[in-house]
């Protein structure tokens, strides 16, 4: 009796982190994972040439790896790291202290005395730490050591072996120089540049099969028809129907194109994003030349099959139309992803091989190929070596490539009715049905419908919408998963949808300026300072601050500095002041740093159950500009100089004493939002009545 055969499918994936306006990645994970998992997984296979596996790439990751390796992009964190510590602004220093402990503390911080010392100085509970205050207590050497330790903690076992000076810096622990920090950053580039050639070489020698997901990792069944979610979720509250099978086809076709260009061969296999399948998806894959796909065993358990299957049905392939389907063993895959890293490597590898040996004719392990190794000692080196060494021994389970296995042993059974769902609960609840998910689908659908009637070049807008269709934005909406970077994911999604509107020569809807996530998900937001007006004011609208008393008693909104740099660089405006006279509503914006005062200011007002917008242009040289409402009626004036000031007539706005108003201010430059104050929701205030000043009188 021949030993069982096993497919190892490692899914390598990151969403599109690049800002559509600047091309700069807002998050550093492509660069950081390149120095650990993307290199280590290839290096482990190089040392065990008899072990085979599938590398399933998200094409969105491939494109960003190319750009990173070529030096064509520099993410915001790398940009800050490359600056001398003495030149960092307080906001950038605070960002370093927020971001540079984003590793598994048990493995990468606590065993390193210097790194742990610096973490304790910053504070362990970030929500209780005032980073603006704490950053001032770190001297330049301490802050530089924090930066270097973070970069070193992300170096995997291949990087530490292939870049000898990395091990020397790790051993020294302290007193790193600016030159050494720059050399570590340069090493990251060298390592990233080796990633794709390593995998290409493994594929060319027949040890690795390259597969891919659709281009920007969308949930294909929901692109084809979002209402298909009701097949597994009949009671779900769904957004307006999104039905664009042509987009699903483009995501598949373009993803295959990217993988073929980079690796030289067109993939015949695919892990549909999040293992999401439906009858329509499998038919589409077959039409696009995909010979096999993989999904979760829960899909098989909810499907109807004709033909014989082993005792564990998911331990055999099944035919669905033109496509052969593999089904991941959930328990074994999750063992590698979540359990074995907590124990001794030999015991974990031995347990896995024993369980594979007791499996059916073809066992499939499909899991994330990058995130687990952050939580394994030595980045998983010992576990992978133990596992692969055992698989090379006579009589051990044989690792195979699906393209070869399925051609030699075609499936004996076929799908009579395929269930529609994903690898999570065999449904799509993570990506649709929650109010936040549905809000995102609604915004996406509005832009996609506009594209249907656009008569110009559709490709730029379509390309932006393909990015916005990615699954990752929806993963972080809702209450299932949390991340410190929820504001960045939310902002990126809305910016890509807004970019599509601009490519159609149309103004993006104002709704795209409003975060979809609630304020509670943005921990930085709670550090904002809000003070209500306390007295009537009468400032001179000249674009200059004439002294304390001019705006004394005004309301104040001051966004937090800490963490802002990761979202969009230094906050363009440091604070917003507002207040009233008997006849006018005033507000003022104070620029932060070297903010360019150019573009349009929009004041959105909500009063008496209706909304309106008043706008004025930031004129070069500080000239006054008329403020007009959405119907073009003049209702005040604005002026920029050293600051931005505006006065709006209460009567022209239809406001009377005692009216409750809500408002927020947006600044746009070339139709791209530069800033929004407040970041969430609106500021509320009451138009002063006769009792306003007596109620707020202070000595």
CA distances from 613 to 247, 632, 647, 666, 675 (A): 35, 10, 14, 10, 16
Among the residues of 453-485, which ranges form H helices?
Answer: 459-468, 471-476
- Domain 528-695 in this protein, CATH class: mainly beta
Q: Half-sphere exposure (CA, 13 Å, Cβ side) for 681?
A: 13
Question: Where do we find the tokens 């620029």?
Answer: 591
Give the pLDDT mean for 658-674.
88
Instruction: Report which listed range, 290-304, 590-604, 679-693, is most confident.
Output: 290-304
Q: How far is it, in rounded angstroms, from Cα 172 to Cα 248?
A: 51
Question: Where do we find the tokens 């006065």?
Answer: 647
Q: Half-sphere exposure (CA, 13 Å, Cβ side) for 416?
A: 6
Question: Where do we find the tokens 């490597």?
Answer: 345
Q: Which two tokens stand for residue 562?
A: 């800490």
Q: What angle, 0 to 180 degrees and rounded to 10, lies between the N-to-C axes of helices 164-172 and 140-153?
A: 130
Q: Which two tokens stand for residue 242?
A: 């999104």
For residue 568, what pLDDT band results from cuts at 50, 70 and 90?
Answer: very low
Task: Write the pLDDT tens digit of every residue in 23-49.
Answer: 999 999 999 999 999 999 999 999 999
Give the pLDDT mean for 576-590.
94
- With a CB cutoff of 8 Å and minimum separation 6, the contacts of 381 are 40, 44, 156, 157
Q: How far is it, in rounded angstroms, from Cα 285 to Cα 322?
A: 8
Share of the chain above pLDDT 90, in %: 82
pLDDT at 168 over 50: yes
End-to-end CA distance of the chain: 93
Give the pLDDT mean for 112-135.
93
Q: Answer yes or no: are the C-beta atoms of 501 and 508 closer than 8 Å.
A: yes
Give the pLDDT mean for 250-276.
98
Average pLDDT in the chain: 93
CA distances from 551 to 109, 579, 624, 692 (A): 48, 8, 19, 17
Q: What is the pLDDT of residue 566?
A: 35
At residue 50, φ and ψ (nearest 5 deg) are: -90, -5
Task: Write the pLDDT tens digit of every residue in 40-84.
Answer: 999 999 999 999 999 999 999 999 999 999 999 999 999 999 999
pTM above 0.85, yes or no: yes
Return the beta strands (E) in 478-609 as ranges: 529-531, 555-558, 573-580, 584-591, 599-607
Q: How far is it, in rounded angstroms, from Cα 538 to Cα 63?
A: 55
Question: Among candidates 577, 568, 572, which has minimal Cα distance to 594?
Answer: 572
Q: How far is it, in rounded angstroms, from Cα 155 to Cα 149?
A: 10
**Domain ranges within the chain, ordered by starting residue:** 435-520, 528-695
Adjacent-strand bridge partners of 269 = 292
pLDDT at 335 over 50: yes
Task: Write the pLDDT tens digit of every residue in 352-403.
Answer: 999 999 999 999 999 999 999 999 999 999 999 999 999 999 999 999 999 9
């Amino acid at each position: 009796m021949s030993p069982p055969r096993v497919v190892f499918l490692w899914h390598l994936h990151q969403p599109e982190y690049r800002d559509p306006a600047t091309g700069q990645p807002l998050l550093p994970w492509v660069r950081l994972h390149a120095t650990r998992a993307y290199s280590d997984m290839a290096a482990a296979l190089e040392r065990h040439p008899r072990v085979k596996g599938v590398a399933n790439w998200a094409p969105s990751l491939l494109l960003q790896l190319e750009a990173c390796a070529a030096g064509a992009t520099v993410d915001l964190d790398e940009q800050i790291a490359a600056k001398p510590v003495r030149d960092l602004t307080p906001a950038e220093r605070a960002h370093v202290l927020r971001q540079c402990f984003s590793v598994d503390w048990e493995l990468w911080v606590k065993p390193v005395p210097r790194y742990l010392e610096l973490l304790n100085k910053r504070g362990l509970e970030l929500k209780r730490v005032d980073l603006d205050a704490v950053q001032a207590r770190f001297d330049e050497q301490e802050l530089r050591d924090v930066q270097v330790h973070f970069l070193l903690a992300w170096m995997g076992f291949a990087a530490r072996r292939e870049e000898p000076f990395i091990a020397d810096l790790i051993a020294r622990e302290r007193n790193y120089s600016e030159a050494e920090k720059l050399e570590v950053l340069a090493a990251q580039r060298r390592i990233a540049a080796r990633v794709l050639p390593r995998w290409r070489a493994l594929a060319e020698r027949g040890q690795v099969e390259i597969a891919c997901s659709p281009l920007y990792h969308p949930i294909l069944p929901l692109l084809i028809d979002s209402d298909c979610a009701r097949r597994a979720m009949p009671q779900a509250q769904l957004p307006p129907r999104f039905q664009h099978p042509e987009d699903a086809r483009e995501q598949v076709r373009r993803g295959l194109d990217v993988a073929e260009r980079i690796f030289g061969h067109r993939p015949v296999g695919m892990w549909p994003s999040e293992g999401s399948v439906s009858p329509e998806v499998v038919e589409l894959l077959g039409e696009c030349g995909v010979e096999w796909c993989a999904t979760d065993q829960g899909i098989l358990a909810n499907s109807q099959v004709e033909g014989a299957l082993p005792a564990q049905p998911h331990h055999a392939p099944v035919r669905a139309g033109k496509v052969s389907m593999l089904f991941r063993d959930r328990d074994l895959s999750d063992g590698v992803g979540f359990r074995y890293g907590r124990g001794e490597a030999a015991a974990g590898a031995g347990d896995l091989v024993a369980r594979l040996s007791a499996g059916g004719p073809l066992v499939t392990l499909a899991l994330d190929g990058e995130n687990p190794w952050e939580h394994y000692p030595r980045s998983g080196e010992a576990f992978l070596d133990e596992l692969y060494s055992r698989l090379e021994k006579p009589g051990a389970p044989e690792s195979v490539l699906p393209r070869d296995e399925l051609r030699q042993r075609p499936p004996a059974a076929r799908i009579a009715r395929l269930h529609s769902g994903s690898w999570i609960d065999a449904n799509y609840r993570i990506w649709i049905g929650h109010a936040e998910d549905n809000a995102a689908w609604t915004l996406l659908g509005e832009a996609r419908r506009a594209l249907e009637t656009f008569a110009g070049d559709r490709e730029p807008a379509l390309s932006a919408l393909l990015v916005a269709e990615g699954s990752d934005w929806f993963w972080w909406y809702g209450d299932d998963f949390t991340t410190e970077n929820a504001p960045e994911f939310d902002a990126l999604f809305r910016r890509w949808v807004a970019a599509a509107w601009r490519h159609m020569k149309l103004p993006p809807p104002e709704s795209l300026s409003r975060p979809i996530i609630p304020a509670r998900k943005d921990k930085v937001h709670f550090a904002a300072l809000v003070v209500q007006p306390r007295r009537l004011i009468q400032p001179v609208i000249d674009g200059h601050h004439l002294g304390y008393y001019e705006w004394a008693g005004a309301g104040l909104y001051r966004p937090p500095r800490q963490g802002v740099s990761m979202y969009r660089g230094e906050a363009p405006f440091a604070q917003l002041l507002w207040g009233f006279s008997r006849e006018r509503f005033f507000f003022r914006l104070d620029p932060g740093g070297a903010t360019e005062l150019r573009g349009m200011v929009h004041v959105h007002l909500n009063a008496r159950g209706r909304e309106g917008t008043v706008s004025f242009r930031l004129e070069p040289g500080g000239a006054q500009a008329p403020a007009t409402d959405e119907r073009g009626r003049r209702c005040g004036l604005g002026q920029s100089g050293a600051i931005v000031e505006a006065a709006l007539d209460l009567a022209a706005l239809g406001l009377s004493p005692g009216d409750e108003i809500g408002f927020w201010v947006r600044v746009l430059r070339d139709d791209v939002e530069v800033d929004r104050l407040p970041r969430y929701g609106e500021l509320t205030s009451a138009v002063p009545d006769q009792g306003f000043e007596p109620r707020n009188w202070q000595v």
